[in-house]
Amino acid sequence: MKESVIYQEIFHEGEVKGEKKGKQEATKNIALNMLRNNMNLEDIAKLTGLNVQEIQQLNSSLNREE
């Protein structure tokens, strides 16, 4: 019984971490699409919740790919 409770707690923690990571990746992909459409960095920050520095890093990685 005790092992079952511990397993459930660990499983739930893994689910929460996975959801958070997935949301972060989705947000970065949205920001990248906005950058590809030449949106203003400040507007992207407002709409995604990312800070301007994070968006600049994404923009740099996007420029390296091209």
Task: Write the secondary structure of 1-66 as one string of H (helix), E (strand) and C (coil).
Answer: CHHHHHHHHHHHHHHHHHHHHHHHHHHHHHHHHHHHCCCCHHHHHHHHCCCHHHHHHHHHHHHHHC
Residue 14 pLDDT: 93
pLDDT at 5: 86
Tokens for 19, please give them.
Answer: 């959801």
Looking at residue 64, its pLDDT comes to 86
Q: pLDDT at position 2, please?
A: 60
- Cα-to-chain-centroid distance, residue 47: 13
pLDDT, residue 45, reads 97
Pick the closest to residue 27 from 45, 39, 40 (CA basis): 45
Residue-wise pLDDT tens for the chain (66 aa)?
Answer: 567 888 899 999 999 999 999 999 999 999 999 999 999 999 999 999 999 999 999 999 988 876
